[in-house]
Amino acid sequence: MPMVRITNVRKAYATGFEALKGVSLDIHEGEILALLGPNGAGKTTLISTICGITQPTSGTITVGGHDVVTAYRGARSLVGLVPQEINLEPFERVMNTVRFSRGLFGKPKDDALLERILRQLSLWDKRDNKIMELSGGMKRRVLIAKALAHEPRVLFLDEPTAGVDVELRRDMWDIVAGLKQSGVTIILTTHYIEEAEAIADRIGVINAGEILLVEEKTALMTRLGQKELRIELHEPVTALPTALADRGLRIEEDGQVLVYTYDTSKDRTGIATLIRDISEAGLVLRDLQTRQNSLEDIFVGLVTKQEDAA
C-alpha cells in the first residue's frame, strides 16, 4: 500500500475551470517526489486536495490508507503542509505559533520535541521573536517547523524555494535531505528543474491538470546521459544502406538527417566507426551536430506534445 494513493482525481471550480483532469499517482513511503510543472499546472490544487483545503470533484485520495474525505481525521493527522505563501500571524511569537500547530493536530504538549525541531531549523535562538521580526528565509523555516510540529509521516512542500536566494535554496535542500533521513515521505512542487534533479528520488511532470510522466530520477538521468549525433546528408536517403542497418540509426527530416544516439559514459561511443562506415556506404556528409538531452528537453517536449494534442 503506497503512503499516498491518488485515484482519478478531478477538480473543477465553480467557474468551470478544471484544475485537475483525472490525476492518478502513488507516492511511496520514505521517498522524495518532486512534482514539476509550469505555473498554473495544478500543483497547488493537487496538494490542497490531498490536505483537505479543497474537496475533489470526483475520484479518491488515501493517505496511509485513510480516505481524505470520509476518514479525514486519520488522513490529515499524518500530513504536514508547508504552503507556498508565507502565511503567518505577524504579531505572534515563534514558539507560540509552533505550539499552536501541534495542539491543532491533537498532539499533547511536547516542548522538548519542539526544541529539537527549532534547533534543526536553526530557529531556536529566534523562538521568542515575533514573526514580523524575522527575515523571509526564517519565516519559511517557521512554516516548516509548524508543519513538522505534529510529527507528520508525509510532508508537502509547495514551492519551498520560490523567490529564495541561491544560498537559502541549498539550505532548504539540506533540510529536506535531513527530513528524508528521519523517515518522512516528502512531496515537493517546483518549477525549477535543477531542484528536482538535486533532491528528488522520483520526478513527476504535471501540466494543465494532467500528470504527463512519473519516473525514477536515475532512469531519467540515464536518458540525460545520452547524446545525439545528427548527421546531415548531401542527398536524402529513403532507406538505410544495409551496412548501416543494425547501428540504431534513425532517419529524420525526409531522409536528410540520420540521428545516432550514444552514451557518453561509455568508453567507446562508436562515432568514429560510424562516420567511416557512412562514407564507405557512399553517403556524403554535409554537417554534423551533437546535442545533449536535458531534463528540460524532456519536460518541454512533454508539455508541448500535450499542447499540440489539445
Which residues contribute to the site for another protein (CB under 8 A)?
13-14, 51-55, 72-77, 79, 81, 83, 85, 87-91, 96, 99-108, 146
Nearer to another protein, 11 or 217 (CB): 11
Nearest distance from C-beta of residue 18 to another protein, angstroms: 13
Q: Which is nearer to another protein, 30 or 90 (CB)?
A: 90
Question: Which of 149/168 has CB closer to another protein?
Answer: 149
100 or 178, CB closer to another protein? Answer: 100
CB of 179 to another protein, least distance (A): 18
Q: In angstroms, give the least distance from the CB of 128 to another protein.
A: 13
Closest distance between another protein and the C-beta of residue 190, in Å?
19
Distance between CA 177 and CA 154 in Å, rounded? Answer: 14
Cβ of residue 118: shortest distance to another protein, in angstroms?
Answer: 18
Complex with another protein: residue 189 or 231, whichever CB lies closer: 189
37 or 80: CB nearest another protein: 80
Closest separation in Å from C-beta 12 to another protein = 11
